Amino acid sequence: MAAALASPAAGWRPRRLLITRAARGFDHGRSIMARAAALGVDIVELPGDRLTLPKSDDPRRAYVEAKATLAVVVAPPSKRRLQPISPSADWRVDLAEGCPAHCSYCYLAGSLSGPPITRVYANLDEILDSLPDHLGKGQVTSRLARRAHEGTTFEASCYTDPLALERLTGSLSTIIAWFGRWQADAQLRFTTKFADVEPLLAIAHAGRTRMRASINPAAFARFEGGTARVADRLRGLRRMADAGYPIGLTIAPIIAAPGWEEAYGALIDDAAAALAGADHADLTVELITHRFTAGSKAVLDSWYPGSSLDMSDAGRATKRTKFGGEKQVYDAETMRRLRFFFEQRIGGALPKARILYWT
């Protein structure tokens, strides 16, 4: 399904930008409005703070309209309260909610409710102000010796892909520069399926931001509509390494479809080739297998009815979530084979990489 008006390489250009009255009260909100206007996006200044979209009885039409919409809103205090986000980081910090891409496994389908409008936050300064209170209070980096040197970690890509929005918002550059100035034992983290890192390269980041490229084999690109090509993501990652950023690979979601061993073997080789000679790089790897809940499956089936992504019960096991729900993961034997394969291949092709976790 295609709703983006520009290619991923050129950056997302939504069809319209909605900005609430409250968001117009913030410099950052007005700056996003000005950036979008300069790109020729239709600007709709809402009279109040409620988001409204043209009504449609056709769910596919409603999906397309929502995915083509960027909303600038104010994050209320409940959204600014940081949440623990193991195993990725100590804390989740949200610059936005939603994503313009069309991945047929997208975990946001189970996390966010309502039409998939991308909402960006105008009160970025208030979000940043809340971070120092969380310093030294996380669980993930303090508990694991291999991550202790990272300090308190803050993950910015739980509910969005912040690089996808950067041309329109500048929020990611702002928070990277903020961490660069923050004289604290802390790290910002983000992962992305996009590639346009140009605005980030010259920022004084002080090594306090780790970018990870979220990658999957080209053979599975059909599941990742609207994202940048994997080769471009790897090129972007290499440019970030050369700009002195700590970097990482998020191999996610790992899909045990027929031919997965060859496909992921080639992917790991491609990553090693893209990073060859970047021996200065502090490189991590995160390994996340495909999973879904009944709720996310129902949403994804409605958004991507023709998808060939296997979400049947075959080869699956039910696992309890920490919130008392249930999710479908690969069964124990598949998980064992996958894990063995990834640890072996990564150890051989990227011997200096630290695998942070497997899930």
Residues in the site for ligand SF4, rule: CB under 6 A?
99, 101, 103, 106, 108, 161, 193, 227
Percent composition of the chain: helix, strand, coil (DSSP 3-state, to 5): 35, 25, 40
Residue placing its CB nearer to ligand SF4 in the complex, 108 or 281: 108
Minimum CB–partner distance for residue 336 and ligand SF4 (Å)? 26
Helix residue ranges, H only, the chain: 27-38, 59-67, 77-80, 108-111, 124-129, 140-143, 166-169, 171-181, 230-242, 260-274, 294-303, 332-349
Minimum CB–partner distance for residue 36 and ligand SF4 (Å)? 19
Q: How many CB atoms lie within 10 A of CB 347?
A: 11
Residue placing its CB nearer to ligand SF4 in the complex, 12 or 26: 12
Residue placing its CB nearer to ligand SF4 in the complex, 106 or 175: 106
Minimum CB–partner distance for residue 277 and ligand SF4 (Å)? 28
Residue placing its CB nearer to ligand SF4 in the complex, 36 or 101: 101
Residue placing its CB nearer to ligand SF4 in the complex, 12 or 342: 12
285, 346 Cβ separation under 8 angstroms: yes
- What the block records as the tokens of 192 is 């992305």
Task: Name the 3-class secondary structure at 150.
Answer: helix
Positive/negative CA dihedral, 331, 263, 89, 127: negative
Do β-strands 83-85 and 89-92 pair in parallel, antiparallel, or remain unpaired? antiparallel
Residue placing its CB nearer to ligand SF4 in the complex, 96 or 281: 96
Minimum CB–partner distance for residue 346 and ligand SF4 (Å)? 22
Minimum CB–partner distance for residue 285 and ligand SF4 (Å)? 18
Minimum CB–partner distance for residue 280 and ligand SF4 (Å)? 28
| Alpha-carbon torsion angle 346, 340, 286, 279, nearest 10 | -20
Tell the residue number behind the tokens 């290619």, with chain if given.
7
